[in-house]
Amino acid sequence: MQKRLKDYVRYSSQEALAEAFRQLADSSRRINQWIDKNLPRTERRILFVNLLASSADYLEISTQSSSMHISVLALSTRSLYEMNLRLRTMLEDESEIGKWASELVTDKVEVFKGILELDPQGQSADKREILENEIVRLNAIVKKHKLPEVKRPESAGSITKRVGLEKEHKGLFKLFSKLIHPSSYLVNHYQGAASDENRMILQIHAQLYAIDTIQRICGALSVPEEISTPYGHQQA
């Protein structure tokens, strides 16, 4: 008889998993506090702190995910994974730091344009003018400070080609695409989509990428070992 994934992995209780996620979130916040107090404020440091803070937020979501729709855990895991990818690119190539920072401006502009397109007639002329002027101001900032122009954020798939995670990415995104979006699998066979095996895979990878993010940032910023550990415990 062919064995399945659950035949190779021993499960921990959901309470233990929630505690593991909580420990990782607490570690991320503790490390950020040390960084804020001890390291000079640079663009690089700011971006790394933001990644840790956001990781902590998604880890907190994961602590509650066992009683929530499987799409919540899938979204949290995907977010932790994509932030880890972005961090890897910045550590391998310093120019990526500027690009990532510049994407903030691109994202803001796209959000404001989206608001204008969604409500072309309903908003007052004054509100529309405020948004339009803000778009002009943000574009001017890019030119003034000679920030890298990012017309479209780089996809996770493209990033994986540069950091050597193409094979893993293909597997993960097949899972993400079916568990985050209202696919036929998720809608018409929820019991299977939310199986213990699927939850376990998501929980394991959420921890793996969160831990890797913590380790890489601590290494890059020379965070003392007594601050950076423990990272929490991986559970399955």
Q: pLDDT tens, 127-180?
A: 888 999 999 999 898 888 777 877 777 788 888 888 888 888 899 999 999 999
Lowest-pLDDT range, 31-35, 78-82, 99-103?
99-103
Residue 224 Cα distances to 13, 96, 180, 201, 211, angstroms: 32, 26, 37, 31, 16
Domain-embedded: residue 145: no
Domain-embedded: residue 46: yes
User: Of residues 137 and 121, which shows the higher confidence score?
Assistant: 137
Q: What are phi and psi of 222, to 5 degrees?
A: 55, 45
Domain that holds residue 215: 11-94+155-228
- DSSP, res 12: P
Domain-embedded: residue 74: yes
At residue 195, the pLDDT reads 95
205, 84 in Cβ contact below 8 A?
A: no
Residue with tokens 């036929």: 184
pTM for this structure?
A: 0.87
At residue 233, the pLDDT reads 41
User: Of residues 232 and 68, which shows the higher confidence score?
Assistant: 68
Burial class (CB in 10 A: 0-12, 13-18, 19+), 162: middle
Domain-embedded: residue 32: yes
| pLDDT bracket for residue 8 (50, 70, 90) | very low
Task: Give dist(CA 23, CA 60) in Å, integer.
Answer: 10
| pLDDT bracket for residue 60 (50, 70, 90) | very high
Residue 185 Cα distances to 174, 175, 188, angstroms: 12, 11, 6
H or E element, residue 233? none
At residue 162, the pLDDT reads 83
At residue 190, the pLDDT reads 97
Of 69-83, 97-111, 122-136, give the range with the top mean pLDDT. 69-83
At residue 9, the pLDDT reads 41
Mean pLDDT, range 42-60, rounded to an integer: 97
Domain-embedded: residue 80: yes
Mean pLDDT, range 74-98, rounded to an integer: 94
At residue 87, the pLDDT reads 96
Tell me which residue of 231, 234, 91 sits closest to 159, measured CA to CA. 91
Mean pLDDT, range 29-46, rounded to an integer: 96
Domain-embedded: residue 188: yes
At residue 135, the pLDDT reads 94
Domain-embedded: residue 112: no
User: Of residues 202 and 148, which shows the higher confidence score?
Assistant: 202
At residue 235, the pLDDT reads 44
Task: Give dist(CA 201, CA 18) in Å, integer.
Answer: 15
H or E element, residue 58? helix 43-64
In single-letter form, the type of residue at position 117 comes to E
**Helices 156-163 and 70-92 meet at what angle, rounded to 10?**
50
The sign one gets for the Cα dihedral 3, 73, 202, 34 is negative
Domain-embedded: residue 3: no
- Counting the structural domains of the chain, the total is 1
Residue with tokens 């959901």: 14
Query: Mean pLDDT across the chain, nearest whole number?
Result: 87
Whether residue 231 has pLDDT greater than 80:
no
151, 103 in Cβ contact below 8 A?
A: no
Task: Give dist(CA 135, CA 17) in Å, integer.
Answer: 44
